[in-house]
Amino acid sequence: MRIAKVLLILCSSWCLAQNGLNSDAGQPAPSSTMSVTVPAGTKLLLNLKSTVNTKTAHPGDGVYLETTFPITANNRIVIPAGTYVQGVIDSVKRPGRVKGRAEVLFHFNTLIFPSGYTVAVPGALQDAPDLDNGHVKDKEGTVQAQGQKGKDAGTIAQPAATGTLIGGLTHGGKGAAIGGLAGAGVGLAQVLLTRGDDIRIPQGTAVEMVLQRPLQLEERRLSGNSDTDFVPTSQRGRPLQKPALTPAPEPR
């Protein structure tokens, strides 16, 4: 009798296991993480949130920005406006007293989405259209100050003209020549003792970042969704299917 009960229990367990395997066979396998790729060469318009100045900046200092225009892929926004961008200063060069322009190089390394999703970004400075006293000189994104030969010439010419005028009024033609040379000497000394212009990129300046390599993003994390409430791209935009309601039984 006991043997019969044991065999019955074993047979029932085997049947349940088989039914479970058969029911799972028709179910689709869990989907892998879906991703979207933003191609290399994509440009992002940013707004600078912290001033960069070659007079005070040092390698390793942070640079903080925010996107001002969305980036789309597959007919949806993948990098929305208001995404934070973080960068770091790589090198700083102060202007010389006789020659040598100010330069600053920084790159972008992090994107922080409004959902909190954070990714590494391979970005370089492409352009700074609002910058008055500098320009982007190479593909690495080095910002170089404008040349000031004309400014130096003016610095020398103005004291020379003043000296010529004063010398001419006091001592005639010979005095004008002496006064001009003396004034030019003063201007030249001023140029030799004064550094050139530093680069100052103020807060609020619009700059353009370019992706140096493709950027891969997880779709489910762009809006902060979890695996359980992720909606595939093919089903987005469709009306939600409401569950059928079972009518309540009529009172007797």
pLDDT tens digit string along 69-104? 999 998 899 999 999 999 999 999 988 655 689 999
CA 172 vs. chain centroid, Å, equals 63
Q: Between 224 and 2, where is the model more confident? A: 224
Q: How open is the CA angle 37-38-42, to the nearest 5 degrees?
A: 165
What is d(CA 199, CA 251) in angstroms, rounded to the nearest whole number? 83
Predicted pLDDT at 104? 95
Please check whether residue 199 is in contact with residue 176, taking contact to mean a CB–CB distance below 8 angstroms: no
Express as a percent the part of the chain with pLDDT over 70: 54
Q: What are phi and psi of 221, to 5 degrees?
A: -95, -10
Residue 94 has a pLDDT of: 86
CA distance 201 to 67: 17
Each domain of the chain, given as residue ranges in start order, spans 35-147+197-222, 149-195
Tokens linked to 193: 């003792």
CA atoms within 13 A on the CB side of 157: 6
Under CATH, which architecture does the 35-147+197-222 domain have?
A: Beta Barrel (2.40)
Instruction: Output the pLDDT for position 241.
Output: 53
Q: Are 120 and 110 in contact, with CB atoms under 8 Å apart?
A: yes
Q: Rounded mean pLDDT of the chain?
A: 74
The verdict on pTM exceeding 0.85 is: no
CA 97 to chain centroid, in Å, comes to 33
User: Residue 226: which pLDDT band, with cuts at 50, 70 and 90?
Assistant: very low
Per residue in 178-221, pLDDT (tens digit) is 554 555 454 445 444 455 789 999 999 999 999 999 999 998 88
Q: Mean pLDDT over residues 34-58, rounded?
A: 95
How does DSSP assign 86-119, residue by residue? EEEEEEEEPPPSSS---EEEEEEEEEE-TTS-EE
Average pLDDT score over residue span 32-54: 91
Which one-letter amino acid corresponds to residue 209? Answer: M
Backbone angles phi, psi at 78, to 5 degrees: -110, -25
Predicted confidence (pLDDT) per residue in 231-250, tens digit: 444 444 455 454 455 555 56
Torsion angle, CA of 201/203/206/211, rounded to 10 degrees? 80
The pLDDT, as a whole number, for residue 46 is: 97
Under the banding of pLDDT at 50, 70 and 90, the label for residue 160 is very low
Question: Can you tell me the distance from the alpha carbon of 5 to that of 21, in angstroms, rounded to the nearest whole number?
Answer: 25
What's the pLDDT score for residue 84? 98
